Amino acid sequence: MRKLLLVIVLSLGFGWGGEWWSDPVGGLEEAKKDSKPVMFYFHSEHCPYCLQMETFVFSDEKVSKYMDKFVVISLDIYTPTGRAWARRFNVFGTPTFVFYDPKKDTVISTAFGSKSKEDFINLLIKTCEKANTKKC
């Protein structure tokens, strides 16, 4: 149900206009090609804080402006792929945001928990500054 809501929210045009990847390999290739940092979004289907982020934060126009600077890879931690990547980044709960530089193969920063729109925008801005790429 939550996946359907996320698809509806993002496809209606009042949310983030970028592409969400569920395939980490494809998302990382795209990020390298576009010289963008990656935002791994770790979530789970029964996570109320994830639903809050998806419904009220990701759908905001101001947030989407900053999210366009990232390639977003969305992973459910209860799938085999999500579990493997969560272990790689030591993710212990949801929602967790891991910002990653695919060219340097390094984690830029990690954030856990739901955020207000303003706090999430600030997180994205600070991460872009740390990433120090042309796209940010």
Number of Cβ atoms within 10 Å of the Cβ of 12: 9
Residue 133: predicted pLDDT: 74
Q: Say which DSSP state 123 is in.
A: H
Cis peptide bond upstream of 48, omega within 30:
no
d(C-alpha 17, C-alpha 11), whole Å: 8
Phi, psi for residue 116 in degrees, rounded to 5: -75, 165
Residue 90: predicted pLDDT: 97
Asked if 121 and 57 count as a contact pair (C-beta separation under 8 A), the reply is no
Low-confidence ranges of the chain (pLDDT < 50): 4-16
